[in-house]
Amino acid sequence: MPQEGQGLVLALDVGGTDIKVALQDAAGGFHGLRRLPTPLDPYRPGDVIVERVAGLVREYRDQAGGSPIRSIGLVVPGLVDEDAGVGILSANLGWRSYPFSRMVQEATGLPVAFGHDVGMAGDAEMRLGAGRGLRDVVVIIIGTGIAGALFCDGRRVLGGGFAGEIGHAPVPGGLQCACGATGCLETLASAGAIARRYTEASGRPVAGAAEVLAAAGAGDKDARSVWNEGVEALAVALSQMVAVLGSEAVILGGGLSQAGSALLEPLGQRVDSLLSFHRRPRLLRSVLGQDAGLMGAGLRARDLLAEPR
């Protein structure tokens, strides 16, 4: 049974397919971590999430063995207005301008910390992970798509909920994107794009970008070309951000970052070659990994307990 300490919080990370949920204790430890399918309802896309959250609060109250759950940390994807507690838009899950904070608070009676999944993952990475002690950082998460969180002068940039869309900024050679724009970074440099583009070029299906990297290492020309184009696009995008923001570090997370030095070394060299008098960013790997969003949700939920009510 978890130790109560300053009390338990319930952390939830709502994704496109799964909800991750766990109790978090005062030391940051997770208890009862589970994944459940994200409930979908085209007519009540926000309400079904709130109902699931309320159900989970009841379940975890029982599990907590008498220790009260004192607050909820909830993070969701899409465009999010954290100050207002509103999910502005999720193309995948379907909500528009849904007041998550208020609805979850009404359904559970608990204080709610609400935020953007990647933004709060970035917060956690800055507080407890690779960004500790840094102020000017680009956090970039490269998986099926590409998302990010920008930290300037020690604060995350919100931009009315629109900031951090690194994957949907134009790069040279970028292709038609599912978002409707042309040229988006994630059409060349996401793990999903690298796998897809390799299959298109070679006719060979692959399970993911790791296979493309392995094939490139074994001398496969198509694999090399697709991998190198991804790295080049990332290098240009990162150089642009560093040049205008003065970032001291770039933290890479998500599936593609598991390539380690096979990604970070050529990427770092190319970023370096695109800069001159600018601040030179260190390239770092995420420390918290897949659970960073859940960790961020829990940390923020705990912050609520420390704030004067």
CB 202, min distance to a copy of itself, A: 27
Residues in Cβ contact with 37 at an 8 Å cutoff, skipping those fewer than 6 apart: 17, 18, 19
Query: Which of 166, 226, 294, 301 touches a copy of itself by CB under 8 A?
Result: 166
Residue list 109-138, contact with a copy of itself (CB under 8 A) = 135-136
Q: Is 181 in the site for a copy of itself (CB under 8 A)?
A: yes
Q: Is 175 in the site for a copy of itself (CB under 8 A)?
A: no
Angle, CA 40 vertex, CA 38 and CA 43 arms, to 5°? 155
Query: Which of 2, 77, 148, 296 touches a copy of itself by CB under 8 A?
Result: 148
CB 275, min distance to a copy of itself, A: 6
Buried b (16+ CB within 10 A) or exposed e, 71-97: bbbbbbbbbbbbebbbbbbbeebbbee
Count of residues interacting with a copy of itself (CB under 8 A): 47
Residue list 220-239, contact with a copy of itself (CB under 8 A) = 236-237, 239
Residue list 18-77, contact with a copy of itself (CB under 8 A) = none
CB 290, min distance to a copy of itself, A: 23
Q: Is 270 in the site for a copy of itself (CB under 8 A)?
A: no
Of 32 and 160, CB closest to a copy of itself: 160
CB 157, min distance to a copy of itself, A: 4
Residues in Cβ contact with 71 at an 8 Å cutoff, skipping those fewer than 6 apart: 7, 9, 10, 110, 111, 112, 113, 301, 302, 304, 305
Query: Which of 168, 197, 300, 302 touches a copy of itself by CB under 8 A?
Result: 168
Query: Which of 71, 247, 258, 286 touches a copy of itself by CB under 8 A?
Result: 247
Of 47 and 272, CB closest to a copy of itself: 272
Helix axes 209-217, 261-274, angle to 10 degrees: 80
Query: Which of 150, 191, 209, 288 touches a copy of itself by CB under 8 A?
Result: 150
- Helix segments in the chain, DSSP class H: 45-63, 100-108, 117-128, 186-189, 191-202, 209-217, 221-245, 261-274, 292-306
Question: What is the DSSP secondary-structure string of 169-202?
Answer: SB-TT--B-TTS-BSBTHHHHSHHHHHHHHHHHH
Q: Measured between alpha carbons, how far is 149 from 141 in angstroms, rounded to an integer?
A: 9
Sign of CA dihedral 109, 115, 118, 119: negative
Q: Measured between alpha carbons, how far is 295 from 309 in angstroms, rounded to an integer?
A: 23
Q: Measured between alpha carbons, how far is 303 from 309 in angstroms, rounded to an integer?
A: 11
Q: Is 96 in the site for a copy of itself (CB under 8 A)?
A: no
Judged by CB under 8 A, the stretch of 42-50, 96-104, 243-251, 258-266 that binds a copy of itself is 243-251
Query: Which of 203, 277, 306, 309 touches a copy of itself by CB under 8 A?
Result: 277
Backbone angles phi, psi at 155, to 5 degrees: -120, 145
Q: Is 159 in the site for a copy of itself (CB under 8 A)?
A: yes
Q: Measured between alpha carbons, how far is 30 from 11 in angstroms, rounded to an integer?
A: 9
Q: Which amino acid is at 40?
A: L
Query: Which of 11, 14, 112, 158 touches a copy of itself by CB under 8 A?
Result: 158
Query: Which of 46, 161, 268, 298 touches a copy of itself by CB under 8 A?
Result: 161
Binding site for a copy of itself (CB under 8 A): 79, 89, 91, 135-136, 148, 150, 152-153, 155, 157-166, 168-170, 172, 177, 179-183, 236-237, 239-241, 243-248, 274-279
